[in-house]
Chains A and B, each alone.
Chain A
């Protein structure tokens, strides 16, 4: 079993829909990161959280430390949100352990 599990693997949504991506982890962490990767490879950090909830624009990330679970929500999705979303757990300093990623496609 992977230390960081993400679901779903693939997600297709219509523009405007509310999207949720889930991440569960089985190891002790110092923080949970949500990352976005577009074709071409570059990775952008969306959120880093160790408790509670964070919001940035249409993106919301939550974490439940007791349940070892985090969610990334996208409200009013748009085709430009199409990307791979990856959750990653910080361990041992800055070592990141990654989920397999969720490929999101938003259709107009």
Chain B
């Protein structure tokens, strides 16, 4: 059974640009959550999608957005990139969203903004 796949693995962007990251969950999983990891702030929740609907959102500016497709694949978009957006972006998929279902993480996309 394939794991959670995130693409691309590494990305370098310039300030002001926008970026789209992709996450393919484990087959059958309907929930995809996104997280940002930085040395200063650690791991922080961005948002959760379930059945193509955003179910929960963390405390991030509106430049961070996402969506989920009918096959449960999810994308997140960051517009008008800032240097502080440099981070490891991780997604996690779960079978359901009842809260006590195991989360499976992808390898992450390392974004560097220059």
A residues sitting closer than 8 Å to B (CB atoms) are 29-31, 33, 35, 40-45, 48, 50, 86, 88, 90-98, 100-101
Contact = CB atoms under 8 A, between A and B. Distances in A.
A88 B43 CA distance: 10
B94 A94 contact: yes
A43 B42 contact: no
Contacts of A100: 42
B100 A31 contact: yes
Interface of B: 31, 33, 35, 37, 42-45, 48, 50, 55-56, 58, 88, 90, 92, 94, 97-108, 110
A48 B105 CA distance: 14
Determine chain B's interface SS by DSSP, over half rule.
strand
Contacts of B92: 43, 94, 96
Contacts of A40: 107
A5 to B, nearest CB: 12
Nearest to A90: B99
A90 B99 CA distance: 6
Given A93-B31, A93-B98, A94-B33, A41 B45 contact: no
